[in-house]
């Protein structure tokens, strides 16, 4: 396992639609293992193949970062040839991306999705995700379609601007306060 270079905004690979994985080879499995290491080293919760220069339809995600139990928190989803089969509702999401360092954006996402994909053994699974988890899977899926979140964001700010905004909100409402995307972006857009 190794760390891979992460492609960043401006690299044309991020704007191209990926091709299906025809066979889950040892190279695909090795790429997934490297993606886990790369994602964790960069403090991400998901990473897609084009972000490491591979134009194939697969990504990995660890969307349960807030889970109390360690097993759930560390669960990795391998999504090979994923397809979002159902979307419901809408939510505003404040997003960052390993391929867009130093920026944050406000994106409309489905509140709930159903997604099917193969795992590393080629077995097909279908999952349902809501809220933050739905955002993670939609964000990574977009990478396979040649879309990065600034392409669809309603607003952008630097991470420094975001941190200042969060500090202002916490100073006003208290250190333990949590905020919706609408509250974070109020007055900015």
Active site residues: 140
**Which backbone phi and psi does 143 adopt, to 5 degrees?**
-55, -35
Distances, alpha carbon 50 to alpha carbons 91, 185, 188, in Å: 26, 29, 31
Helices and strands (DSSP H and E) totals, the chain: 5, 8
Phi (first) and psi of residue 30, to 5 degrees:
-65, -40
Rg of the chain in Å (alpha carbons): 17
- Tokens for 146? 């040649």
Q: What is the dihedral of CA 28, 33, 36, 39, to 10 degrees?
A: -70
| Token pair for 165 | 């905004």
| Total residues belonging to the chain | 189
């Amino acid at each position: 396992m190794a760390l891979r270079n992460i492609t960043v905004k401006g690299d044309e690979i991020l704007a191209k639609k990926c091709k299906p994985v025809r066979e889950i080879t040892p190279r695909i499995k090795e790429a997934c293992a490297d993606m886990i290491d790369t994602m964790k080293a960069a403090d991400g919760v998901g990473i897609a193949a084009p972000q490491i220069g591979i134009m194939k339809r697969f990504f990995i995600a660890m969307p349960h970062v807030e889970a109390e139990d360690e097993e759930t928190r560390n669960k990795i989803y391998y999504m090979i040839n994923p397809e979002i089969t159902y979307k419901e509702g809408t939510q505003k999401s404040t997003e960052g991306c390993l391929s867009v360092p130093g920026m944050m954006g406000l994106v409309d996402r489905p509140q709930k999705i159903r997604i099917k994909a193969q795992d590393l053994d080629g077995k097909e699974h279908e999952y349902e995700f809501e809220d933050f988890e739905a955002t993670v899977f939609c964000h990574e899926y977009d990478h396979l379609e040649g879309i990065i979140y600034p392409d669809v964001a309603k607003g952008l700010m630097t991470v420094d601007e975001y941190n200042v905004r969060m500090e202002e909100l916490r100073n006003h409402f208290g250190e333990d306060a949590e905020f919706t995307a609408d509250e974070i972006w109020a007055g900015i857009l």
